């Protein structure tokens, strides 16, 4: 039954065709006089409680910035987990465009990853313990110990209009998670936002079975990005939460299916997304 519900989402779209948000201010740290123990100079991001943002990505007024291990905002080229990003002099990440840098043309996807340039090859997702990082889609998720690849999903439900990014499940199959992109959407749907697409999904799924209850679409934030959430309940058996957002010209879908008594585990997995 779980596989049938998962397949319903895939079939419908087949018919249709990692950071933290902060609230604070930038503070400039001026260098002291040269000599032993001299502090560096640069921009730091101070939270409202007086603390400074630690190493990692932050968003400020819709733009992404990277804070280094030294606590200062970075500029220029940075490499993270094998992926190259370019930060303007302002610190803002370049994304969704082609830019000539030092006489060479580079293309950056919507997540800021360099996808075209000298020696660039597509980067696949990778595991570090139980944490999966996807450079292609720009997210990171941590699953509980013991989760295993859900290979049957790829075998049964992924066709050449889709790209499978992640497919895992608990050993007892009471919780499973799949991340895919739908790469060939009809033109009429390309003008819709994620919420509208999720509503269309809900309308389509609502006709599959009288026991399937479709919840209202709501906008949620996962890892600093907005997703449209569509909850689905298959009465007495399973719950299924679907999350949608655009990634370039593809629609990304996170699908988590779980037995009702495993809701806390499912919510924990979704809550770990960065």
| Predicted confidence (pLDDT) per residue in 150-185, tens digit | 754 444 445 557 778 888 888 888 898 989 888 777
Helices of type H across the chain: 2-16, 151-157, 187-190, 194-205, 263-271
pLDDT for 243 beyond 90: yes
Whether residue 62 is found in the same domain as residue 146: no
75-95 average pLDDT score: 87
In this prediction, residue 116 carries a pLDDT of 64
**How many secondary structure helices (H) and strands (E) does the chain include?**
5, 21
Whether residue 193 is found in the same domain as residue 261: yes
Whether residue 98 is found in the same domain as residue 147: no
**pLDDT tens digits along 195-211:** 888 888 877 776 555 66
In this prediction, residue 206 carries a pLDDT of 63
Whether residue 74 is found in the same domain as residue 188: no
Whether residue 133 is found in the same domain as residue 263: yes
Boundary of a domain, candidates 50, 82, 116: 116
How many other CB atoms are found less than 10 A from the CB of residue 147?
Answer: 18
Domain span including residue 184: 126-271
Reported as a pLDDT band with limits 50, 70 and 90, residue 122 is very low
Question: 18 in a domain, yes or no?
Answer: no
Residue 196 and residue 253: Cα distance in Å, rounded?
14
Whether residue 107 is found in the same domain as residue 154: no
Whether residue 151 is found in the same domain as residue 245: yes
Boundary of a domain, candidates 116, 138, 168: 116
In this prediction, residue 10 carries a pLDDT of 45
99-124 average pLDDT score: 73
pLDDT for 22 beyond 50: no
Over pLDDT 70: what percentage of the chain?
76
Per-residue three-class SS string for 198-217: HHHHHHHHCCCCCCEEECCC
**pLDDT tens digits along 217-235:** 999 999 888 999 998 887 6
Question: 40 in a domain, yes or no?
Answer: yes
In this prediction, residue 209 carries a pLDDT of 58
Reported as a pLDDT band with limits 50, 70 and 90, residue 38 is very low
Residue 118 and residue 106: Cα distance in Å, rounded?
8
Question: Which residues are CB-neighbours of 128 under 8 A, at least 6 positions away?
Answer: none
In this prediction, residue 201 carries a pLDDT of 80
Question: 187 in a domain, yes or no?
Answer: yes
Question: Which residues are CB-neighbours of 211 under 8 A, at least 6 positions away?
Answer: 234, 235, 236
**pLDDT tens digits along 51-78:** 888 888 888 888 889 999 888 999 999 8
In this prediction, residue 207 carries a pLDDT of 56
Boundary of a domain, candidates 116, 143, 172: 116
Whether residue 187 is found in the same domain as residue 107: no
Number of domains in the chain: 2
CATH number, domain with residue 262: 3.40.1000.10
* C-alpha count within 13 angstroms, C-beta hemisphere, residue 68: 15
Question: 3 in a domain, yes or no?
Answer: no
């Amino acid at each position: 039954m779980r596989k049938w519900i998962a397949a319903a989402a895939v079939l419908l779209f087949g018919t249709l065709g990692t950071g933290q948000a902060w609230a604070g201010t930038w503070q400039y740290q001026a260098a002291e006089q040269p000599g032993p123990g001299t502090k560096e100079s640069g921009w730091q991001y101070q939270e409202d409680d007086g603390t400074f943002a630690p190493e990692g990505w932050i968003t400020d007024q819709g733009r992404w910035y990277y804070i280094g291990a030294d606590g200062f905002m970075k500029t220029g080229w940075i490499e993270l987990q094998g992926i190259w990003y370019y930060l303007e002099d302002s610190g803002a990440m370049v994304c969704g465009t082609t830019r000539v840098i030092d006489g060479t043309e580079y293309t950056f996807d919507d997540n800021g990853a360099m996808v075209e340039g000298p020696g660039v090859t597509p980067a696949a997702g990778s595991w570090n313990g139980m944490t999966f990082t996807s450079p292609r889609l720009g997210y990171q998720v941590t699953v509980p110990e013991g989760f295993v690849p859900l290979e049957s999903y790829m075998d049964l439900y992924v066709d050449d209009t889709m790209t499978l990014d992640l497919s895992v499940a608990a050993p007892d199959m009471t919780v499973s998670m799949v991340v895919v992109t739908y790469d060939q959407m009809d033109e009429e749907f390309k003008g819709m936002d994620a919420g509208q697409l999720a509503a269309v999904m809900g309308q389509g799924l609502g006709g599959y079975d009288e026991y399937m209850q479709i919840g209202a679409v709501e906008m949620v934030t996962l890892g600093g990005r907005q997703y449209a959430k569509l909850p689905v309940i298959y009465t007495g058996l399973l719950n299924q939460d679907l999350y949608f957002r655009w990634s370039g010209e593809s629609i990304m879908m996170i699908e988590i299916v779980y037995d009702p008594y495993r809701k806390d585990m499912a919510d924990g997995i979704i809550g770990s997304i960065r």
